[in-house]
Chains A and B, each alone.
Chain A
Amino acid sequence: TQLLEQSPQFLSIQEGENLTVYCNSSSVFSSLQWYRQEPGEGPVLLVTVVTGGEVKKLKRLTFQFGDARKDSSLHITAAQPGDTGLYLCAGEYNFNKFYFGSGTKLNVKP
């Protein structure tokens, strides 16, 4: 059973386009994190959100945590080839216990 569903699963876009990735669950998270993973490497933490309704910006990336803390979104403005990778959300359900979403594989073509 997948606790966290991400959509879309795959996304192939041209350089300069905008995109949004969604992470949804029926459960409430204590906190939620977004990671980017490249082939053969471990995931790299992008952001942690804690408060319902919270919005965080990291250069061209905007992260939003839903008011009810059950969902989150990642928006990328003017995507670049260097943004290519697997984007993973991870929700904290219990003490020190995180589960990862199903992942969104992004390919940005030059």
Chain B
Amino acid sequence: DTEVTQTPKHLVMGMTNKKSLKCEQHMGHRAMYWYKQKAKKPPELMFVYSYEKLSINESVPSRFSPECPNSSLLNLHLHALQPEDSALYLCASSQDRGQGALIGYTFGSGTRLTVV
């Protein structure tokens, strides 16, 4: 299995809703990432998990809450979002630098989020 699977593919939510994005990989990768991509812009790093521990938070607002329940799963919990948070949310995984290998990301297809 060489894929990163993201669900749902599309999500429309109101500003008072609580929802979660899910990401799964079975490649033995020990680093997992959340990126946010606005239209016609490059992906922007949000969070990095290394060996299931949060290692990088790029000053993301607290209305985004990541969770890594085990080495294969990564969630992004959403609460009280704003319309400007509408974007493509990409999950990626890679071997951790601590595993010593030359790393490259494998990306999921993303969740297209619309906040209304």
* Bound pair (A, B): yes
Q: Chain A residues in contact with chain B, CB under 8 A? A: 31, 33, 35, 40-45, 48, 50, 88, 90, 92, 95-103, 105
Contact A96 B90, beta carbon cutoff 8 Å: no
Give the A-B contact count at a CB cut-off of 8 A.
61
Mark B102-113 against chain A: 1 for CB-CB distance below 8 A, else 0: 111111111010
Q: Taking each of A44, A98, A100, which has the highest tally of chain B beta carbons within 10 Å of its own beta carbon?
A: A98
Q: Chain B residues in contact with chain A, CB under 8 A? A: 4, 31, 40-45, 48, 50, 55-56, 88, 90, 92, 94, 96-97, 102-110, 112
With A88-B43, A95-B50 known, 12 other A-B pairs at CB within 8 A are A35-B105, A40-B110, A41-B109, A42-B108, A43-B107, A44-B107, A45-B105, A48-B104, A96-B31, A96-B103, A97-B48, A100-B43
The 6 closest A-B pairs by CB, nearest first: A42-B107, A100-B42, A45-B104, A48-B104, A103-B42, A95-B97
CA–CA, A14 to B56, complex, Å? 43
Of the candidates A31, A41, A42, A101, the one whose C-beta lies within 8 Å of that of B42 is: A101
